[in-house]
Amino acid sequence: MNSKRFLIGNAAGFSGDRVDAALPVVRTLISRGLPSALFFEVLGERTVALAQMARNADADKGFEPMLDRLLAPVLGLCLEHGIPIIGNFGGANPQGAARRIAALARELGLRPVKVGIVEGDDVRGLPLETYPVFEADAGIDTHGGDIIAANAYLDAQPIVAALRGGADVVVTGRTGDPSLALAPLIWHFGWSAEDWDKLAVGAVAGHLLECGAQLAGGVFFDPGYKDIPDPANIGFPIAEVEADGGLVVTKADDTGGRVSVASVTEQLLYEVHDPSRYVTPDVTVDMTAITLEEIAPDRVRVDGIAGQPRPEDLKVTISHDGGWLGEGEVSVAGPNCRARAMAMADALRERLRIRQLAVRSRIDLIGMGAVHDNDAGDLTRAHAGPEPVEVRVRIAAAGPHQEDVDQAAREALAMLCCGPAGTGGARWHTTRRVATRSCLVPRRDVPAQARFLEEQA
């Protein structure tokens, strides 16, 4: 591979993102006529734990539930044009996701697809209690819950190995988010695993792209202050990377949103604790000398990226059983709804006292006081102002026992007949809670590897 430019497109920033995002990105990659790769980033901090719960209930589950919808529109195009796909959509079951991708290719009438699988992030077998807690998580109380999942943020090298082995698709579980974009750059350009400045460029490219539409205006636009065109069709991002470390970020053609210095700045600083030492599994990035220049509409050049050696430890997120969370909501509408909503809140609070349910709870008045109250749900400071036309009374309850939590949430439903006048639109649900805390594990204790799906299509 001797092309001096490489394109990386992103088509998802979390599990639940837009499933129609990939096609415009892939069409743009094809139209540019350059070597390229596509990646999906779908794992949040608790997503792997929820996936592990799903796998515990059904051994065939535990990977991204929208996998078919994400890949079906673009799998054939990527195979035809030699665009490898990388995704952490393996969740807690990368092999299951790989099998499903192979089956999907068969169902779509495509050629056999070579699927690489990255393993090693699941470290539940390690003596996790012996490793130092990540400093930012030192104060987190996991309430003594059992460990559900423990996953290390792997570096890019196993993905690189899979690409070098000819993978059309690489499925991972937990990896460093920037590593998903850095890996194809190392593979294409042959960058050394210790060329810190170039690795830092790839890590910044991945950091800018991994939240999907945020680079082009998602979680950015604010009507009248920070406007973007066609927000219903925000384009997903593409990075243009040069062999010597040049970086330009843009977005899919014929889509909405806007890539600007302002939007790139916000995404650059997103989830960065120390810009002088942004730690990834592959490289430590120094962002303090970065400059941004809009060289054309929707094209921003990123310069001044510097790298330092990667950390000796890998971050491991340990997910504990946090019990149950129940939420109930009911609407109060019409004249005097403020007073009726506050009366309902008082009644709900008293109902929990009467029933002696083993829950921790709070009550919010959405549309009136929720954004003005303190974290304890204190309603005494509900704002004065124009009378609202509707207030949603929300009760949230958490505790170790599903039945108590469910009953607390259902008290909102009971307000349909037991509450004040003008009440309706009740709903409730109960879900498992996950409490997470991280520790630092020497990378020598985390033997990651890449292999290929044996059951190829």
Q: What is the pLDDT of residue 381?
A: 44
Residue 373 has pLDDT above 80, yes or no: no
- Confidence label for 133 from pLDDT (cuts 50, 70 and 90): confident
- Among 100-114, 126-140, 306-320, 394-408, name the one with the lowest average pLDDT: 126-140
pTM: 0.91
CA 227-232-234 angle, 5° bins:
70
Residue type, 148: I
* Across 28-47, average pLDDT: 95
Q: Dihedral, CA atoms, 97, 437, 269, 264, nearest 10 degrees?
A: 20
Query: If you ran DSSP here, which 8-state letter would residue 400 be given?
Result: S
In the structure encoding, which two tokens stand for residue 433, read together? 């809670």
pLDDT of residue 387: 62
* Better-scored residue on pLDDT, 453 or 375: 453
Query: Cα separation of 267 and 454, whole Å?
Result: 39
Give the pLDDT of residue 3: 79
pLDDT band at 385 (very low <50, low <70, confident <90, very high): low
Tell me the per-residue pLDDT of 322-357, one tens digit each, with 9 for 90 and over. 899 999 999 999 889 999 999 999 999 999 999 999
Strand partners, 86: 39, 170
Q: Choose among 362, 456, 366, 10: nearest CA to 214.
A: 10
Mean pLDDT taken over the chain = 92
- Residues 129-149 have a mean pLDDT of 79
Average pLDDT value for residue range 273-296: 97
Lowest-confidence pick of 18-32, 135-149, 236-250, 370-384: 370-384
pLDDT in tens, 187-245: 999 999 999 999 999 999 999 999 999 999 999 999 999 999 999 999 999 999 999 99
- Three-state SS across 123-141? CCCCCHHHCCECHHHCCCC
Does the pLDDT at position 143 exceed 70? Answer: no
DSSP-derived 3-state class of residue 373: coil
Task: Write down the pLDDT at residue 371.
Answer: 39
Which whole-number Å values give the CA distances from 128 to 132, 136, 141, 315, 318, in the listed order? Answer: 9, 17, 16, 12, 8
- Other CB atoms within 10 Å distance of the CB of residue 250: 23
Measured from the Cβ of residue 306, the count of other Cβ atoms closer than 10 Å reads 17
Span 398-419, average pLDDT: 96
Strands 237-242 and 291-296: unpaired
Using 50, 70 and 90 to split pLDDT, how confident is the model at 375? very low
Given a cut of 60, is residue 383 above it in pLDDT? no
